[in-house]
A and B are shown apart, each in its own frame.
Chain A
Amino acid sequence: MQTAVRSSLPETEFTSRANFAPHARVVREERQGERQAQTTGLPLSIRGLRKSFGDNEVLRGIDLHIPAGQFVAIVGRSGCGKSTLLRLIAGLDKIDAGSISFGQDVQPEDIRVMFQEPRLLPWARVLANVEVGLGRDRALGDAHARAEKALTEVGLADKRDQWPSVLSGGQKQRVALGRALVSRPRVLAFDEPLGALDALTRISMQRLLERVWRDQGFTAILVTHDVAEAVALADRVLVIDEGRIAHDVTVNAGRPRQRGSAELAGLEGSILSHLLSADDRT
Chain B
Amino acid sequence: MSLIDSVSLPRSFRLPRVDGLIQWIVPLAIIAIWQVASVTGFVPTRVLPAPSDVLLAGWKLLLSGELVRNIWVSFWRASIGFLIGGSIGFAFGLANGLSQLSAKLTDTTLQMVRNVPHLALIPLVILWFGIDESAKLFLVALGVFFPIYLNTLHGIRTVDPQLIEMGRIYGMSDGELFRRVIFPGALPSIFVGIRFALGIMWLTLIVAETIAASSGLGYMAMQAREFMLIDVVVLSILIYALLGKLADSASRVLERLTLSWHPAYWKR
Which residues of A are in contact with B by a Cβ distance under 8 Å?
90, 92, 108-109, 112-113, 115, 117, 119, 121-124, 132-133, 135-136, 158, 160-163, 165, 179
Q: Quick check: B1 and A119 within 8 Å, CB to CB?
A: no
Minimum Cβ distance to chain A for residue B4 (Å)? 7
Report 16 cross-chain contacts, Cβ distance below 8 Å, ordered by A residue: A92-B165, A117-B162, A119-B166, A121-B163, A121-B180, A121-B181, A121-B184, A132-B166, A132-B180, A135-B170, A136-B171, A158-B1, A163-B263, A165-B261, A165-B263, A179-B170
Separation of A111 and B215 alpha carbons in the complex (Å): 66
A109 contacts across to B, CB distance below 8 A: 171
Given contacts A119-B166, A121-B181, contact A163 B171 (CB under 8 A): no
- Does B17 belong to the interface (CB within 8 Å)? no
- Does B262 belong to the interface (CB within 8 Å)? yes
Separation of A133 and B180 alpha carbons in the complex (Å): 13
User: Given known contacts A122-B261, A123-B184, what 18 new A-B pairs fall within 8 Å (CB)?
Assistant: A90-B169, A92-B165, A112-B169, A119-B162, A122-B262, A123-B185, A123-B259, A132-B166, A132-B167, A132-B170, A132-B172, A132-B180, A133-B170, A158-B1, A160-B1, A161-B1, A162-B4, A179-B170
Q: Quick check: B163 and A124 within 8 Å, CB to CB?
A: no
B171 to chain A: closest residue by CB: A135
Separation of A117 and B166 alpha carbons in the complex (Å): 11
Which residues of B are in contact with A by a Cβ distance under 8 Å?
1, 4, 162-163, 165-167, 169-172, 180-181, 184-185, 187, 259, 261-263
B162 contacts across to A, CB distance below 8 A: 115, 117, 119
Minimum Cβ distance to chain B for residue A178 (Å)? 13
Separation of A135 and B170 alpha carbons in the complex (Å): 5
A134 to chain B: closest residue by CB: B170
Minimum Cβ distance to chain B for residue A250 (Å)? 31
B262 contacts across to A, CB distance below 8 A: 122-123, 165
Separation of A109 and B184 alpha carbons in the complex (Å): 25
B169 contacts across to A, CB distance below 8 A: 90, 92, 112-113
B176 to chain A: closest residue by CB: A138
B165 contacts across to A, CB distance below 8 A: 92, 119
B4 contacts across to A, CB distance below 8 A: 161-162
Q: Quick check: A119 and B163 within 8 Å, CB to CB?
A: yes
A123 contacts across to B, CB distance below 8 A: 184-185, 187, 259, 261-262
Minimum Cβ distance to chain B for residue A258 (Å)? 36
B181 contacts across to A, CB distance below 8 A: 121
B185 contacts across to A, CB distance below 8 A: 123
Minimum Cβ distance to chain B for residue A65 (Å)? 25
Separation of A135 and B173 alpha carbons in the complex (Å): 10
Separation of A160 and B172 alpha carbons in the complex (Å): 22
A161 contacts across to B, CB distance below 8 A: 1, 4
Listed from nearest, the 8 A-B pairs whose CB atoms lie closest are: A135-B171, A123-B184, A123-B261, A119-B166, A163-B261, A165-B263, A108-B171, A132-B170
A136 to chain B: closest residue by CB: B171
A162 contacts across to B, CB distance below 8 A: 4
A124 contacts across to B, CB distance below 8 A: 180, 261
B162 to chain A: closest residue by CB: A119
Minimum Cβ distance to chain B for residue A144 (Å)? 14
Residue among B162, B163, B171, B185 with the most chain A CB within 10 A?
Answer: B171
Separation of A23 and B260 alpha carbons in the complex (Å): 44
Separation of A226 and B167 alpha carbons in the complex (Å): 29
B163 contacts across to A, CB distance below 8 A: 119, 121
A160 contacts across to B, CB distance below 8 A: 1
Minimum Cβ distance to chain B for residue A128 (Å)? 9
B167 contacts across to A, CB distance below 8 A: 132
A135 contacts across to B, CB distance below 8 A: 170-171
Minimum Cβ distance to chain B for residue A88 (Å)? 14
Separation of A136 and B173 alpha carbons in the complex (Å): 9
Separation of A163 and B261 alpha carbons in the complex (Å): 6
Minimum Cβ distance to chain A for residue B115 (Å)? 35
A179 contacts across to B, CB distance below 8 A: 170
Separation of A121 and B179 alpha carbons in the complex (Å): 12
Separation of A165 and B261 alpha carbons in the complex (Å): 8
Minimum Cβ distance to chain A for residue B258 (Å)? 9
Separation of A119 and B1 alpha carbons in the complex (Å): 24
Separation of A263 and B4 alpha carbons in the complex (Å): 47
Minimum Cβ distance to chain B for residue A105 (Å)? 16
Minimum Cβ distance to chain B for residue A240 (Å)? 23
Minimum Cβ distance to chain B for residue A221 (Å)? 15
Separation of A1 and B248 alpha carbons in the complex (Å): 49
A117 to chain B: closest residue by CB: B162
Separation of A112 and B170 alpha carbons in the complex (Å): 8
A122 to chain B: closest residue by CB: B261
Separation of A132 and B180 alpha carbons in the complex (Å): 10
Minimum Cβ distance to chain B for residue A119 (Å)? 4
Minimum Cβ distance to chain A for residue B181 (Å)? 7
Separation of A119 and B261 alpha carbons in the complex (Å): 15
Separation of A133 and B184 alpha carbons in the complex (Å): 18
